[in-house]
Amino acid sequence: MEQWKSITDCEAFAALKRCAQSPLDLTEPGNLNPERLLHFRCSGPEFDLLYGCQRVTSEVLDLLQTLTDECRVVEQFREMRRGTVMNCIHGWPSEERQVLHTACRDLFSGVPACPSATKQAGKELAKLKIFLSDVDNGVICNERGESFVNLIHVGIGGSDLGPRSIYEALHAYGKKGRQVYFISNVDPDDAAAVLDGLDLSRTLVLVVSKSGTTLETLSNEILVREALREAGLDAAKHCLAVTGESSPMDNPKRYLRSFHMYDYIGGRFSSTSMVGAVMLGFALGYDQVMEFLEGAAMMDEAAEEENIRSNLPLLLALLGIWNHNFLGMSSLAVLPYSQALHRFAAHLQQCDMESNGKSVQRNGEDLTLQSGPVVWGEPGTNGQHAFYQLLHQGTEKVAIEFIGFRLCQRGRDMEIHGTRSQQKLVANLLAQSLALAIGKNDENPNMRFPGNHANSLLMGERLTAKSMGALLALYEAKVVFQGFCWNVNSFDQEGVQLGKILAGRILSAMKGEGEEGTLEKAVLKAAEME
């Protein structure tokens, strides 16, 4: 494996540190002018990035360009797409895998970056197209000849958060009469809440686990299978699987259909694989799935541009580096002004924090600077009546990424008090971005707004399947670019393993114990085990 640089090894790092000692003051009269707002703008597939409210100058942008060039960030992204092993730690045992989630949507390229992986993705999509056609045409139906109208998606982590957020985002385009439900938490109340009152005879169950051994998912699958049995139904005629080839779940005796995902696709990057495509295909139809994949493919291609001012995900990533590592912002709020994206921040929490929540470089050495930030967020305008107080006048330093759309998704709007609701939504979005940047002086200290809160705005025309694919791929690329800058392995998740091991020990210790003292004894036994 090649020894890649961290940004701390770059000559531009010291110059950026000096610039950060006196960053642009957005509250100074004249600094935030129309010329700046027009100039600090980057256009990419489906979105424009408006970053005039970031505390950057042309000098800082030039240095960030030099930083990415020295780290060869775009070159690494290209190599990743073409099959170079990127999931590894040099000199230490690690997963040693390719990272090819981009191959799932590379069918739209005349020359795919990694033809072998894209061919596998195409094969699964062909299987999906046939399956969806059979469901639509009644070839696949229940024992009474009735069509399936419900689908329960059973997964956890990357097998749930991404697909769930995308389904919620695109629910407006769903096929009439179709509904998707999600079960993820091993808490039995999660499954019970979905199963209660649902007509299981007209329900498909999609179980998603790459290994076929995920504890929470298998437990929930058993609960659902038991519910099917109690309803007098044959689970094998209702259950579908998305899993690794030859996994324990790749079993035609137990599943109506099986779709494959591969080791080179990490869970949190799997939404454009069969992990998301099967559910989306049932809910929206095959054509909408292809539009979703096309949007993602367009952003992947755009991410290979070397010029930071023209590469939307790269620019967003480096603005994040500037805010986090140079201006000391340890938290990032992603605030979509679209109710349809109300679960998107939850997906980004995993995608970002599981990828870059690392303290060891790819050469096995400790990091000497902060890696990934804490990521959180909720939709506007609801958030304005909740946590925006802290953003405007609190003591925490929070970087902010707004997401908005010029047009509403469903087209149901009306004029109220002289403006439409979508206009009110966009006006609030623009006002918050501006207010956070410029602040307000006041003799009354309680009415004073300090300003200088760095923020960017991603603005799209309308939230569609294509723009959702582009948005997803944009943030995936952003996370990957930042991981390359910190020289961490963004593609493993060793940090979750210890808890799993201890949970297994506690479960073993619980077996055979009486009710009294069960929890205390189990914890003590688990702690004593080698």
d(CA 119, CA 124): 9
The strand pairing partners of 150, in sequence order, are 179, 203
Structure tokens at 512: 């055979």
One-letter amino acid at 506 equals I
| Burial tier of 414 (Cβ tally within 10 Å: 0-12, 13-18, 19+) | exposed
Annotated catalytic residue: which of 176, 385, 417, 511?
385
Q: Which of 321, 302, 322 is nearest to 310 (CA)?
A: 302
Q: What is the DSSP string of 443-470?
A: SSGGG-B-----EEEEEES---HHHHHH
In angstroms, the CA 400 to CA 386 distance is 15
Pure H helices in 231-309: 274-284, 286-302
**Partners of 460 in the β-ladder:** 47, 405
Using CA atoms, how far apart are residues 434 and 523, in angstroms rounded to an integer?
Answer: 51
At residue 342, the 3 state secondary structure works out as: coil
Catalytic hit among 354, 401, 466, 476: 354
CA pair distance 318, 304, nearest whole angstrom: 15
CA dihedral 242, 244, 247, 250 (to 10 degrees): 40
**Whole-number Cα distances in Å, 183 to 33, 190, 229:** 49, 6, 18
CA dihedral defined by 304, 409, 268, 50, rounded to 10 degrees? 40
Q: Give the C-alpha separation, 135 to 217, whole Å.
A: 25
Neighbours of 140 (CB within 10 A): 17
Q: Which two tokens stand for residue 399?
A: 């970087």
Active-site hit among 119, 230, 500, 520: 500
| Gyration radius (Cα) of the chain, Å | 24
**Does 385 qualify as catalytic in the annotation?**
yes
Are 486 and 356 spatial neighbours (Cβ–Cβ below 8 Å)?
A: yes
Q: Which residues are tagged catalytic?
A: 354, 385, 500
